Structure 1
Amino acid sequence: MLRPCWRCDVLIPERRGEALCRLFVLAILAALAGQSGADPPAAPDTEHSIPPAPTEPATGAVLEVNPPTVVFEELYAGATGESEVSLRNGGSQTLVIESVKAGCGCTGVLLGEKRLEPGQSTPLKVSFRSADKDVGHPVRKVVTIHSNDPRNNGQYRLDLVAHVKAGVIVNPLNLNLGEISPGEEQNPTVHLEAEDGEPFRILQASVSDPKMTLHYDQNVESNTHSLKLRFVPEDARQNSRAQLTIQTNHPKRSQIQVPVYWRISRPVTVRPAYLALGRLDPGADVQRSVELVSRLPEPLADVRFRVEGAPITVLATQSLSSPSTWDLTLHVPQQLAGERVRARLVVDTSDKRARDIVVALTAEVTNDINLMPDLPGF
Structure 2
Amino acid sequence: MRPFLLSLMVPALCLAQAPSISVDQPHFDFGKLYGDAKAVHRFKVSNKGNAALNISRLNPSCGCTSTVIGQWTLNPGQSTEVEATFNPVGFRGPVHKSIQVVSNDPANPTVDLTFEAEVLREIMPSSEAVFLQDVQRTSPRKVSVRLVSGNGKPVHVTDARSPGAPYLSCSVRPEGNDAWVDILLEGTKIPASRQSGTDAVVVKTDNPRAAVINVTVQWELRASVVAEPGRVAWVEPAGKEQRSKVVLKQVDGKPFRILSARTTNPVLRVEGGGKGASSRHDLQVVLSANAKAGMYSEKILVTTDSPDQPEVEIRVAASLR
Q: TM-score, normalised by structure 1?
A: 0.54
Alignment of 1:310-349 (within 5 A): 311=265, 313-318=267-272, 324-331=281-288, 334=291, 337=294, 339=295, 341-349=296-304
Checking the alignment, whether the CA contact within 8 Å between 1:81 and 1:127 is kept in structure 2 is: yes
CA distance in 2, matches of 1:358, 1:109: 49
Deviations 1:182-216 (A, max 9, x none): 23223444443534542342233332552222234
Letter matched to residue 236 of structure 2 = L
CA distance in 2, matches of 1:361, 1:68: 64
Once the 2 structures are TM-superposed, how far is the Cα of residue 293 of structure 1 from its aligned partner? Answer: 1.4
Match of 1:198 among 153, 161, 177: 153
Evaluate the alpha carbon distance shift between residue 317 and residue 359 of structure 1 in structure 2; reply closer, same or farther with a 3 A threshold.
closer
Match of 1:178 among 129, 133, 141: 133
Q: Which residue of 2 aligns with 1:276?
A: 233
Once the 2 structures are TM-superposed, how far is the Cα of residue 329 of structure 1 from its aligned partner? Answer: 0.9
Q: Which has the larger radius of gyration?
A: 1
CA distance in 1, matches of 2:64, 2:289: 53
Q: Which residue of 1 aligns with 2:203?
A: 246
Deviations 1:148-198 (A, max 9, x none): x9x9xx999886744133543545665433321123223444443534542
Q: Which residue of 2 aligns with 1:214?
A: 170
CA distance in 1, matches of 2:57, 2:320: 54
CA distance in 2, matches of 1:94, 1:274: 63
Q: Which residue of 1 aligns with 2:31?
A: 73
Q: Which residue of 1 aligns with 2:5?
A: none
- 1:261 aligns to 2:215 (yes or no): no
Q: Which residue of 2 aligns with 1:354?
A: 309
Q: Helix, strand or coil: the match of 1:300?
A: coil
Deviations 1:198-240 (A, max 9, x none): 23422333325522222348xx9x8343433332122462443
Evaluate the alpha carbon distance shift between residue 92 and residue 206 of structure 1 in structure 2; reply closer, same or farther with a 3 A threshold.
same
Checking the alignment, whether the CA contact within 8 Å between 1:176 and 1:260 is kept in structure 2 is: yes
CA distance in 1, matches of 2:261, 2:219: 27
Deviations 1:327-376 (A, max 9, x none): 22123755553x3x34444332233422342334332222xxxxxxxxxx
Letter matched to residue 270 of structure 2 = A
Once the 2 structures are TM-superposed, how far is the Cα of residue 268 of structure 1 from its aligned partner? Answer: 0.8
Checking the alignment, whether the CA contact within 8 Å between 1:306 and 1:314 is kept in structure 2 is: no
Once the 2 structures are TM-superposed, how far is the Cα of residue 262 of structure 1 from its aligned partner? Answer: 2.6
Structure 2: runs of 5+ lacking an equivalent: 1-8, 75-80
- 1:230 aligns to 2:178 (yes or no): no
Which has the larger displacement, 65-74 or 203-212? 65-74
Structure 1: runs of 5+ lacking an equivalent: 1-48, 59-63, 103-107, 367-378
Evaluate the alpha carbon distance shift between residue 166 and residue 110 of structure 1 in structure 2; reply closer, same or farther with a 3 A threshold.
closer
Letter matched to residue 134 of structure 2 = E
Evaluate the alpha carbon distance shift between residue 168 and residue 283 of structure 1 in structure 2; reply closer, same or farther with a 3 A threshold.
same
Q: Which structure dedicates a bigger proportion of its chain to strand?
A: 2
Which has the larger displacement, 268-277 or 344-353? 344-353
- 1:299 aligns to 2:226 (yes or no): no
Checking the alignment, whether the CA contact within 8 Å between 2:60 and 2:99 is kept in structure 1 is: yes
Q: Which residue of 2 aligns with 1:9?
A: none
CA distance in 2, matches of 1:144, 1:333: 69
CA distance in 1, matches of 2:280, 2:155: 61
CA distance in 2, matches of 1:328, 1:250: 58
Evaluate the alpha carbon distance shift between residue 287 and residue 226 of structure 1 in structure 2; reply closer, same or farther with a 3 A threshold.
same
Checking the alignment, whether the CA contact within 8 Å between 2:259 and 2:302 is kept in structure 1 is: yes
Checking the alignment, whether the CA contact within 8 Å between 1:236 and 1:266 is kept in structure 2 is: no
Match of 1:288 among 244, 267, 276: 244
Letter matched to residue 170 of structure 2 = L
Checking the alignment, whether the CA contact within 8 Å between 1:274 and 1:359 is kept in structure 2 is: yes
Report % sequence identity. 14
Q: TM-score, normalised by structure 2?
A: 0.62
Q: Helix, strand or coil: the match of 2:308?
A: helix
Once the 2 structures are TM-superposed, how far is the Cα of residue 326 of structure 1 from its aligned partner? Answer: 1.0
Q: Helix, strand or coil: the match of 1:184?
A: coil
Alignment RMSD (CA, Å): 5.2
Matched residues, number: 286
Letter matched to residue 185 of structure 2 = F
Letter matched to residue 227 of structure 1 = V
Q: Helix, strand or coil: the match of 1:353?
A: coil
- 1:365 aligns to 2:309 (yes or no): no
Deviations 1:271-330 (A, max 9, x none): 1133221x233343210001111035642213433444xx3633222299x952112212
Once the 2 structures are TM-superposed, how far is the Cα of residue 73 of structure 1 from its aligned partner? Answer: 3.3
